[in-house]
């Protein structure tokens, strides 16, 4: 499977995606505007609380081509962060006390400067999260020692595993992904990840393999723990249940299968003001591979940068100015405010 | 499109039954909500029971709702199909167990 960009799909065009999100439904009525819902609950303009996470997307290159990927990542995507831009990120971090750095992609490990970057962030004493797709560990001999490398820098590994069966996982993430993911999880377990008392955090990300919403995070975590232990002797720490946002490949899937309107209706009907108050863009700044700043990774993929009066590039990073900004919202934001809420750390309402 | 008695869009209008009798509808929906909360059974187990019952009572709205509901609660396809087999076994068994009544009657009326 090729990326939408390589296929020249209209869904690779962010203006097209935003247009789809704004269109009225077939019977003529439009979905209520997300901004209006925030206004109704006293949350507009949406402002940051405190910036505690710098999420850095180091590139769109990936060894997998997942059907729901909001990045449209894949082996044919060549956009990756340069070492110079990484240095700008380090400079920005050095002038702040932001405690958490969340590295994502693509497969972040495929960036040639990935290990250097992790080492430098580690020297700054920040907690590092790597969003590892698991299969990268087995993709090439040069990645086989990643579990050891992660351990050395006390990296928190957060990995997608949409389900505890091969059929549902492979449907979403590609043939053979489940078996490789299981092997990679066992390798991480073997060096201490996910093992009680090791302090090495291994968290899994569940996101629905279809046009439905995630169920209760705690209940799903219990079921995942039971099934992975029974079937494969795998242990992990937390399960993060994440809602699929209607953008990029997932939007393409929703439209092409006739699921778009029922799915949006579900998101809109499940709007939860408590989840809206806890959205991750209130404590996160997202950096794109070329250094631009965004309110979240989804806005990044929709090419919706932070508002123009805030610094828009990592070289101009200014914590106070970014903390004072108004967060840019659109209709896809319903994905983060449905039910118990959704963020890169799972549910936002307990 | 051909008109049928069932319209999938009506599932989303379930709440509108309160229009003609709000008091009883409110009591029903409160009760319904409570029933499906986690208790001695998990939400996933309750969704699977609902899926099985939906097939036994042959309610297309309920089948739609609890297929999605079971997926959302983390059930896998094998669990969902086994739940339906439970419904089928009970429905089939319910017919067959009356065979004893038939046999009793045969023995009563035959020489």
> In chain A, how many domains are there?
1
Peptide bond into A106 cis (omega under 30): yes
Q: Which residues of chain A are within 8 Å of residue B72 when distances are taken between CB atoms? A: 208, 212-215
pLDDT computed for residue B1 by the predictor: 53
CA-CA distance, A292 to B4, in Å (whole number)? 54
Q: Does residue A243 lie within any of the structural domains?
A: yes
A80: in domain? yes
Assess contact for B67 and A262: CB atoms under 8 A. Answer: no
Global pTM reads 0.92
Where do the structural domains in chain B lie, given as residue ranges? Answer: 42-110
Residues 262 to 291 of A: which have CB under 8 A from any B CB?
265
CB contact under 8 Å between A212 and B74, yes or no, is no
CB distance A208–B44 less than 8 Å?
no
Architecture of the domain defined by B42-110? Up-down Bundle (1.20)
User: How much is the pLDDT for A26?
Assistant: 77
- Distance, in angstroms, between B44 CA and closest chain A CA? 8
Buried b (16+ CB within 10 A) or exposed e, A75-88: bbbebbbbeebbbb
Domain extent for A228: 4-16+30-347
Is pLDDT above 60 for B73?
Answer: yes
Partner B contacted by A108 (CB < 8 A) = no
ipTM value for the complex: 0.79
* Cα separation, A114 vs B70, whole angstroms: 40
Residue A21, in any domain of the structure: no
Mean pLDDT of chain B: 95
Percentage of chain B beyond pLDDT 70 is 98
Closest residue, chain B, to A243 (C-alpha): B72
Residues (pLDDT < 70) of chain A are: none
Q: Which of B68, B74, B77 lies nearest to residue A223, judging by beta carbons? A: B74
pLDDT at B2 exceeding the cut of 70: no
CATH of the domain at A272: 3.20.20.70
Q: What is the pLDDT of residue A24?
A: 82
Could you please report the per-residue DSSP string of A166-199? HHHHHHHH-TTHHHHHHHHHHHHHHTTTT-TTS-
CA distance linking residue B81 with residue A62, whole number of Å: 36
In 3-state terms, what secondary structure has residue A271? strand
Say if CB A276 and CB A297 are below 8 A apart.
no
User: Which tens digits make up the pLDDT trace of A179-231?
Assistant: 999 999 999 999 999 999 999 999 999 999 999 999 999 999 999 999 999 99
Position A25 in a domain: no
Of A25, A163, A166, A212, which to mutate for an interface test with B (greatest number of B Cβ within 10 Å)? Answer: A212
State whether A163 and B76 contact (CB < 8 Å): yes
Residue A24 lies in a domain: no
Q: Is A167 on the interface with B (CB under 8 A)?
A: yes
Cβ neighbours of residue A279 closer than 8 Å, sequence gap 6 or more: A46, A333, A336, A337, A341, A343, A348
- Tens-digit pLDDT profile for residues A52-92: 999 999 999 999 999 999 999 999 999 999 999 999 999 99
Domain membership of residue A298 (yes or no) is yes
Q: CA-CA distances (angstroms) from residue A68 to A162, A192, A243, A252, A331?
A: 11, 31, 11, 9, 18
Instruction: Say if A23 falls within a structural domain.
Output: no
| Residue A214 contacts B, CB cutoff 8 Å | yes
Q: Which of B12, B74, B77 sits opposite A219 (nearest CB)?
A: B74
Q: Tell me, what's the pLDDT at A11?
A: 97
Q: Do A219 and B42 touch (CB under 8 A)?
A: yes
CA distance A169 to A182: 11
């Amino acid at each position: 499977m090729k990326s939408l960009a390589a296929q020249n799909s209209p869904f690779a065009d962010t203006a097209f995606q935003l247009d789809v999100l704004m269109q009225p439904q077939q019977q003529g009525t439009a979905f209520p505007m997300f901004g209006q819902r925030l206004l109704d609950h006293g949350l507009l303009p949406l402002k940051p609380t405190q910036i505690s996470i710098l999420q850095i997307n180091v590139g769109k290159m990936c060894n997998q081509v997942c059907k729901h990927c909001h990045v449209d990542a894949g082996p044919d995507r060549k956009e990756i962060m340069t070492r110079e831009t990484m240095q700008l990120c380090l400079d920005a971090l050095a002038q702040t006390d932001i405690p958490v750095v969340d590295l994502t992609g693509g497969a972040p490990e495929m960036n040639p400067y990935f290990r250097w970057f992790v080492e430098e962030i580690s020297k700054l004493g920040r907690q590092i999260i790597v969003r590892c797709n698991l299969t990268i560990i087995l993709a090439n001999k040069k990645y086989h020692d990643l579990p050891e490398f992660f351990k050395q820098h006390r990296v928190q590994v957060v990995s997608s595993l949409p389900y505890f069966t091969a059929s549902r996982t492979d449907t979403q993430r590609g043939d053979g992904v489940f078996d490789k993911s299981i092997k990679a999880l066992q390798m991480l377990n073997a060096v201490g990840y996910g093992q009680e008392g090791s302090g090495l955090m291994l968290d899994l990300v569940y996101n629905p393999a279809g046009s439905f919403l995630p169920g209760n995070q705690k209940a799903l975590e219990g079921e995942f723990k039971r099934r992975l232990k029974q079937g494969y002797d795998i242990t992990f720490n937390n399960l993060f249940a994440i809602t699929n946002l209607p953008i990029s490949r997932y939007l393409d899937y929703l439209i092409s299968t006739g699921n778009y309107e029922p799915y949006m209706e579900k998101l809109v009907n499940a709007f939860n003001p408590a989840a809206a108050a806890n959205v991750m863009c209130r404590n996160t700044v997202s950096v794109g591979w070329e250094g631009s700043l965004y309110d979240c990774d989804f806005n990044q993929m929709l090419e919706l940068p932070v508002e123009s009066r805030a610094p828009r590039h990592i070289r101009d990073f200014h914590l106070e100015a970014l903390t004072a900004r108004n967060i840019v919202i659109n209709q896809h934001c319903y994905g983060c405010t449905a039910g118990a809420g959704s963020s890169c750390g799972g549910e936002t309402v307990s | 499109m051909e008109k049928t008695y069932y319209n999938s869009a009506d599932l989303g209008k379930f709440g509108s039954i309160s229009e003609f009798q709000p008091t009883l509808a409110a009591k029903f929906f409160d009760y319904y909500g409570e029933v499906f909360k986690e208790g001695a059974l998990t939400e996933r187990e309750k969704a699977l029971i609902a899926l099985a019952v939906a097939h036994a009572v042959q309610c297309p709205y309920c089948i739609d709702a609890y297929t999605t509901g079971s997926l959302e609660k983390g059930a896998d396809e094998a669990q969902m199909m086994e739940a339906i087999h439970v419904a089928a076994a009970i429905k089939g068994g319910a017919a067959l167990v009356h065979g004893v009544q038939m046999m009793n009657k045969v023995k009563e009326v035959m020489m």
